[in-house]
Structure 1
Amino acid sequence: MTSVLCEELSVAQAEQRYPDIFVISWRRRLSQGLVLGLSLATLIYGLVIFDFSPMRIWDGLGQLGMLVRFMVPPATEPTVVWEFMKAIFETLAMAFIGTLFAALLAVPFAFLSARNVFRFRLGRFGIRRSMDFLRGVDQLVWALVFVRAVGLGPLAGVMAIIISDIGTLAKLFSEAVEGCDRHPSEGVAASGGTTLQCTRFGILPQVLPMFISSTLYIFESNVRSATILGIVGAGGIGYQLSERIRGHHWEEVATILILILVTVYVIDWVSGKIRGRLIEGS
């Protein structure tokens, strides 16, 4: 009985001390209602303008089933498979080169974007907004730009990956730098180290595992992205896929899709093993 009274008393004291937690004001109710109403209105508007209907989805599934029947069995001719394998290697090379150069170029921008490293606020603001611009434009748009600039081929895809991923990796790297422990760098500074030495020996060893992990993840993503970039003329397996779809060679499309799935699975598996050894120490 005493414990129940104590609990009731503590709840009553809490209600008096923190009324905003226990009593929902009309302003809060109004804001919640506005958010809910706006979300519902956006949902209904999207369903209307997209002509969403169960019958349309059912018809689409029927068309998809017909395409799947055309894909069976996949093309297995050695010359065709070898041609697609070369395109897969080209796609992997695009993703690897683009990710590697993007990661190397993102490191200095990451340190210049971190508050605890670069104290000049105006310069840091300019670098951060530049990185926002680079990652704010989709890779597909960059690919279209570089296809126009340097012509068709893998070079346009590599340039698109580099430009887009510099902004993404710089953002991830800078957050890791800002979240690291400052005491090691303060110890290096107390020993007479310069700013560069404080960064090299006090910060970099802490954030390097995060750098590696983020780069590996972006590489996995770029393997899939490079396939899409090939569709707009950036080479690789995406170009082969686009050509087969236009020509209605669905059995070859099935072979390409199988090779892409196997490649992505192998890349994910190898990347996980590398992260386990370099980051987790397993």
Structure 2
Amino acid sequence: MHGTLPHRAKELNEARSLLPAAFHRSPSKRLRNGAIGAALIAPLVYGAVVFGVTPARLVEGLSRLGGILSFMFPPHVWTTWQEWSEVLAGLGETVVMAFLGTLLGAVASLPLAFLGAKNIMPLSWLRLLSRRGFDALRAVEQIILALIFIRAFGLGPLAGILAIAVSEIGTFAKLFAEAIENTSRRPVDGVKASGGSQFQAIRYGILPQSLPVILSIILYNFESNARSGTILGIVGAGGIGFLLADRMHAFRWPEAWSIIFLIIATVYIIDAVSNTLRHRLI
């Protein structure tokens, strides 16, 4: 074994002489790597200085957070059906709000997706205009839309449903258009070769290919909207978020944590059901 060490050192020296760039970084590369590292670290340092992030503040905040987390166990258990019914009704309201908002967004998005699909819409200017419209809808956060609709329609789940639906139109239309674009051309050519119209080519050639992906996207976004529906409730759109905000404002942390646990359990159930449906569809 010791006899091979000089031989390996000789091979290493030969490799260095043949490929010096592989063993030594040039000054330009070192400068570039240093610039990349500085570009990554500079925002952290700037944010810490501007936002007043200090070790003392972090320690104090972590100690307070530990005090809040200490209320997690044991969680509060409601003892009367009236208390349980209020919480369960809020959970059901959030799930229904997410379902209806997702459904309305999907129904409105499907015809719009054909305007943004390259293999359906030949007019590039209309396709580009449609795509930018989708981006504009996706750029506005659901919570901002909820505040707007609360101002227009008042407090309650209606504002949350409309906020989810409008936000999902932009997301669904973009994802549906991409799913339609990624379909194979052969079924479409087969329908047209048989004398079918453009509508029949879309109905029998494109939709059967893209529909499983579209349904999978809808299920995934429904699961996501069930979570975001809680945040919309906090700003006044009803549902379990309203009850959670009420408990937190009153510093009733044991009840707040119990509600959070129920939200997590509900999301787990929705996730399990949607995963099963997605596997069957795809």
Pair in the same fold by TM > 0.5 = yes
Corresponding residue for residue 114 of structure 2 = 111
Q: Pick closer, same or farther for the CA change 1:28–1:128 going to 2, 3 Å.
A: farther
Corresponding residue for residue 52 of structure 2 = 51
TM-score, length-scaled by structure 1: 0.85
Q: Kindly indicate whether residue 260 of structure 2 is the aligned counterpart of residue 257 of structure 1.
A: yes
Distance 1:67 1:153 in 2: 29
| Deviation of the 1:186 alpha carbon | 1.4
Of the three residues 72, 75, 78, the one matched with 1:76 is 78
Distance 2:126 2:157 in 1: 34
Which letter does structure 2 place at the counterpart of 1:101? L
Of the three residues 89, 109, 121, the one matched with 1:86 is 89
Which letter does structure 2 place at the counterpart of 1:271? S
Which letter does structure 2 place at the counterpart of 1:52? V
Corresponding residue for residue 270 of structure 2 = 267
Of the three residues 167, 171, 175, the one matched with 1:168 is 171
Distance 1:29 1:165 in 2: 46
| Deviation of the 1:27 alpha carbon | 8.2
Corresponding residue for residue 42 of structure 2 = 41
Corresponding residue for residue 133 of structure 2 = 130
Corresponding residue for residue 210 of structure 1 = 213
| Deviation of the 1:242 alpha carbon | 0.7
Which letter does structure 1 place at the counterpart of 2:215? I
Q: Kindly indicate whether residue 236 of structure 2 is the aligned counterpart of residue 233 of structure 1.
A: yes
Distance 1:198 1:31 in 2: 53
Distance 2:186 2:44 in 1: 49
Partner SS, residue 232 of structure 2: helix
- Tell me the C-alpha RMSD between the 2 structures: 2.4
Contact persistence 2:97–2:161 (CA under 8 A)? yes
Deviations along 1:8-42, whole A, 9 cap, x unmatched? xxxxxxx9xxxxxxxx9998887665544333222
Distance 1:92 1:54 in 2: 41
Stretches of structure 1 lacking an aligned partner (at least 5 in a row): 1-14, 16-23
Distance 1:77 1:275 in 2: 38
Distance 1:75 1:225 in 2: 25
Deviations along 1:36-93, whole A, 9 cap, x unmatched? 4333222221222232234322222211222233454414222222210000000000
Corresponding residue for residue 192 of structure 2 = 189
Contact persistence 1:153–1:234 (CA under 8 A)? yes
Of the three residues 98, 101, 113, the one matched with 2:104 is 101
| Deviation of the 1:236 alpha carbon | 0.2
Further displaced range: 61-70 or 174-183: 61-70
Which letter does structure 2 place at the counterpart of 1:59? E
Corresponding residue for residue 145 of structure 2 = 142
Distance 1:40 1:213 in 2: 39
| Deviation of the 1:183 alpha carbon | 1.2
TM-score, length-scaled by structure 2: 0.85
Partner SS, residue 261 of structure 1: helix
Corresponding residue for residue 9 of structure 2 = none
Q: Pick closer, same or farther for the CA change 1:207–1:232 going to 2, 3 Å.
A: same
Aligned 1:217-228 pairs, distance under 5 A: 217-228=220-231
Deviations along 1:222-280, whole A, 9 cap, x unmatched? 0000000001100000011111111111222122111101101111111111112222x
Aligned residues: 261
